[in-house]
Amino acid sequence: MTATIIDGNAVAAKVQDQIAAGVEKMKAEHGIVPGLATVLVGEDPASAQYVRMKQRRCAKVGIQSFGHVLPADATQEEVEKLVADLNANPEVHGILVQLPLPGHLDEERVLNLISLNKDVDGFHPVNIGRLAMKGREPTFVPCTPYGAMVLLEEAGAEFSGAEAVVLGRSNIVGLPAAMLLIHRNATVTVCHSRTKDLPAVCRRADILIAAVGRAEMVKADWVKPGAYVIDVGSNQVADPGSEKGYKWVGDVDFDEVKEVAGAITPSPGGVGPMTITMLLKNTLRGAELALAEKA
């Protein structure tokens, strides 16, 4: 059996077209241009590159972006003042504080300050709390697990009653992915570094989401035949034969697992393009919330 390959770039392009149409409609009907503010503290090259990429994607769908860069030694007060100003700015519908923040800053205090209606990363403790509660809906869902769920939907996965296994329990991926699956009535097992006999646990899964940060850890004999496999992992490994000397691989051994799974995302080209797409979608939603508040 060879799995259906879930093409994250194609799904992302489709969702981005829908977002661009929504942005256009908001401009035409209400004169509102959705706006995303990014806050980068320090000059970490990888973080700066992520921020630039987010700004470029905003421009592609017609969302304005406001880039704010603070020096690496910015004080807690300076960061908090910037977030407070962005909360009060009516042109800003989403605030993204690029994590991690430098060690001297209290990340949780900063995230707590972001207005709930502008929390497009979905990391505000109230949004995460609502996600964890039965019968409650968060205002925003964290982008990476949100993107993973959209890919599963596009691939035709049935959630209700399915056995789902999430590998990883981080606040940004594993835990919210598990909570989203519970909301969709899957029976969910969350694995982590202390889980015993991972292959046996994973083999139970009709839906397997891997978010561990371990290159090609999930092997073919960890996967139930026909399962939906979503590979969130993005790991740089040595590739002496290539020009750069490295390549990117996921947490799933794609070549092996695609022979067993029913559907699988590649990495790169799966969840990655969806993460940024869901950020754009959340920003449009932020603008819709602002509009509803005005009415």
Residues 18-37 interacting with ligand NDP (rule: CB under 6 A): none
Bridge partners (DSSP) of residue 70 are 41
Binding flag, residue 46, ligand NDP (CB under 6 A): no
Give the integer Cα–Cα distance in Å for 235 and 217: 11
Residue of closest CB approach to ligand NDP: 170
Output the smallest distance, CB 200 to ligand NDP, in A: 13
In the complex with ligand NDP, the residue whose CB is nearer, 218 or 227, is: 218
Q: By rule CB under 6 A, what string of x and - marks binding of each residue 119-158 to ligand NDP? A: -------------------------x--------------
Of the chain, the end-to-end C-alpha distance in Å amounts to 54
Output the smallest distance, CB 53 to ligand NDP, in A: 11
Binding flag, residue 81, ligand NDP (CB under 6 A): no
Binding flag, residue 173, ligand NDP (CB under 6 A): yes
Binds ligand NDP by CB under 6 A, chosen from 149, 152, 179, 271? 271
Give the integer Cα–Cα distance in Å for 229 and 210: 8
Residues 176-215 interacting with ligand NDP (rule: CB under 6 A): 191-195, 198, 211-214
Binding flag, residue 74, ligand NDP (CB under 6 A): no
Binding flag, residue 266, ligand NDP (CB under 6 A): no
* Residue span binding ligand NDP (CB under 6 A) among the ranges 29-37, 53-61, 65-73, 164-172: 164-172
In the complex with ligand NDP, the residue whose CB is nearer, 99 or 291, is: 99
Binding flag, residue 172, ligand NDP (CB under 6 A): yes
Residues making contact with ligand NDP (CB under 6 A): 144, 167-170, 172-174, 191-195, 198, 211-214, 232-235, 271-272, 275
